[in-house]
Amino acid sequence: MTDLIASPGAETAPSAAVTEALPPNDGDQPLEWAPREPAPKKHRTALWVGLGAGALLVALGAASMVLIAPGTTIAGIPVGGLTPGAAADVVESRLADVEITLTDVNGEPVITGSEIGASVDAAALADAAFTEHPMWNVGSWMSAPIAGDIALDPALAHKTLRALAPTSYEDAVDAAVVFDEATGTYATTPAIAGTGVDLTGLTAAMTDAVASDHNAGEYSGAPSEAPAAVSDADATDVATNLNTMLTTLGFYIGEERTVPVAPAVAATWIDVVDEDGTLRVVADEAAIQATVDALPAAVDRAPVSAETITNANGTVLRELTAGVNGRALGDTSTVAADFAEKIEAGDAVQPIAVTETPFESTALVREIDINLSNQTVSAIENGAVVDSWYVSSGIGENATHTGSFQIGWKTSSQNMGNRDLTKAPNYFQPDVPWVMYFNGDEALHGVYWHSNWGNPMSHGCVGMPIGKAQWLYNWSPEGVTVNVHY
Give the tens place of pLDDT for each residue, 294-304: 999 999 999 99
Residue 10 lies in a domain: no
Cβ neighbours around 421 below 10 Å, total? 11
Amino acid symbol at 479: G
Same domain, 82 and 210: yes
CA 391 vs. chain centroid, Å, equals 73
Residue 153 backbone dihedrals phi, psi, to 5 degrees: -80, 105
Which CATH number does the domain housing residue 372 bear?
2.40.440.10
- What is the rounded distance in angstroms from the CA atom of residue 268 to the CA atom of residue 248? 17
Q: Where are the alpha helices (DSSP H) in 104-164?
A: 122-132, 154-164
Quick check: 29 pLDDT over 90? no
337-373 b/e with 16+ CB inside 10 Å = b? ebbbebbeeeebebebebeeeebeeeeebbbbbbbbe
Same domain, 258 and 287: yes
Same domain, 372 and 352: no
Q: Which percentage of the chain shows pLDDT scores above 90?
A: 74
- As for how many domains the chain has, the answer is 3
Same domain, 333 and 385: no
Residue 14 lies in a domain: no
Same domain, 331 and 385: no
pLDDT digits (tens, 9 = 90+) for 121-130: 889 888 888 8
Residue 181 lies in a domain: no
Same domain, 66 and 209: yes
pLDDT band at 146 (very low <50, low <70, confident <90, very high): confident
Residue 27 lies in a domain: no
Which CATH number does the domain housing residue 311 bear?
3.10.20
- What is the rounded distance in angstroms from the CA atom of residue 71 to the CA atom of residue 85? 17
Same domain, 454 and 320: no
Write down the pLDDT at residue 189.
97
Residue 106 Cα distances to 157, 195, 263, 380, angstroms: 18, 17, 54, 105
Same domain, 91 and 204: yes
Quick check: 385 pLDDT over 80? yes
Quick check: 104 pLDDT over 80? yes
- Predicted TM-score (pTM) of the model is 0.56
Residues in the chain: 486
Q: Which residues contact residue 290 at a Cβ distance below 8 angstroms, ignoring those fewer than 6 apart?
A: none
Same domain, 326 and 430: no
- Contact in structure between 118 and 156 (CB atoms under 8 Å): no
Q: Decide: helix, strand or coil at residue 242.
A: helix
Same domain, 83 and 219: yes
Residue 39 lies in a domain: no
Same domain, 329 and 390: no
Write down the pLDDT at residue 250.
98
Residue 15 lies in a domain: no
Q: Which residues pair with 73 in a beta bridge?
A: 78
Cβ neighbours around 39 below 10 Å, total? 6
Residues spanned by the domain of 428? 365-485
Same domain, 109 and 223: yes
Listed residues 357, 388, 422: the one ending a domain: 357
Residue 36 lies in a domain: no
Write down the pLDDT at residue 19.
36
CA neighbor of 111 nearest in space, from 219, 244, 241: 219
Angle of the 285-293 helix axis to the 335-344 helix axis, nearest 10: 130
Quick check: 6 pLDDT over 50? no
